[in-house]
A and B are shown apart, each in its own frame.
Chain A
Amino acid sequence: MNHNNNFQQSSDGRHDDDAALTEFLSSLMGYTPTIPDELVEHYLAKSGFQCPDVRLNCCLCFCRIRLVAVATQKFVAEVATDALQQCKARQAAVVKDKRDKQQKDKRLILTMEDLSKALREYGVNVKHQEYFADNPSTGMDPASKEE
Chain B
Amino acid sequence: MNHGGGESTSRSESRTDTSSDRPKAEDFSRAVSKMAVAQICESVGFQGFKDSALDALSDIAIRYICDLEIGKCLVGSGIVKEIIDFVESKEEIPFAQPIPQYPVIRSRRLIPSFEEMNETPPGKHIPSWLPAFPDPHTYIYTPMWNERKSDPRADKIELARQRRKAEMALLSLQQRLVCNGETGTSASRPANDEEELPKTGSNPFFAKPLQSGEKDISPVGLPAKLKDKMSGGNHMSVMEAFAPAIEAVKVSGFSDDADGDRRYLPEKRPAVHFKFRAGKKFLGEILDSSLQKKGGRRSASFWRDEEKDDKKRRAEFILKQSIENPQELSQL
Q: Residues of A at under 8 Å CB distance from B? A: 2, 5-6, 9-10, 14, 17, 20-21, 23-24, 27-28, 30-32, 34-36, 38-44, 46-47, 49, 64, 67-68, 70-77, 79-81, 83-84, 87, 107-112, 114-115, 119, 124, 126, 128, 137-141, 143, 145, 147
Contacts and interface: CB of A to CB of B under 8 A. Distances in A.
A115 to B, nearest CB: 5
B280 interface: no
- Tell me whether chain B's interface is mostly helix, strand or loop, or mixed: helix
Interface in B64-79: 64-68, 70, 74-79
B33 A80 contact: no
Contacts of B104: 38
Given A43-B66, A76-B40, A115-B57, A20 B80 contact: yes
Given A34-B40, A140-B15, 6 more contacts: A31-B95, A34-B36, A73-B36, A110-B57, A112-B53, A138-B15
Contacts of B39: 34
Contacts, number: 196
B61 interface: yes
Interface residues of B, number: 70
Contact of A27 (B19, B77, B84): B84
7 contacts: A20-B84, A31-B95, A76-B37, A108-B45, A110-B46, A112-B50, A140-B15
Contacts of B44: 77, 80-81, 84
Contacts of B60: 79, 119, 124, 126, 143, 145
A74 to B, nearest CB: 4
A70 B70 contact: no
B308 to A, nearest CB: 88
B49 interface: yes
Given A38-B105, A111-B53, A145 B47 contact: no
Contacts of B95: 31-32, 34
A42 B62 CA distance: 10
Looking at chain A's contact residues, the main secondary structure is helix
Contacts of A111: 4, 50, 53
Contact of B83 (A36, A67, A80, A109): A67
- List 6 tightest A-B contacts by C-beta distance, closest first: A139-B11, A109-B48, A141-B52, A80-B44, A109-B4, A143-B56
B41 A80 contact: yes
A112 B104 CA distance: 32
B256 interface: no
Given A27-B88, A115-B57, A145 B80 contact: no
Contact of A77 (B5, B8, B40, B98): B40
Given A17-B75, A143-B59, A71 B54 contact: no
B319 to A, nearest CB: 87
Nearest to B61: A76
B65 A40 contact: yes
Contacts of B97: 32, 34
B15 A75 contact: no
Most chain-A Cβ atoms within 10 A of its Cβ — which of B12, B18, B61?
A: B61
Contacts of A23: 84
Given A36-B102, A43-B29, A74-B86, A21 B40 contact: no
Contact of A110 (B41, B74, B86, B87): B41
Contacts of A39: 29, 32-33, 36, 65, 105
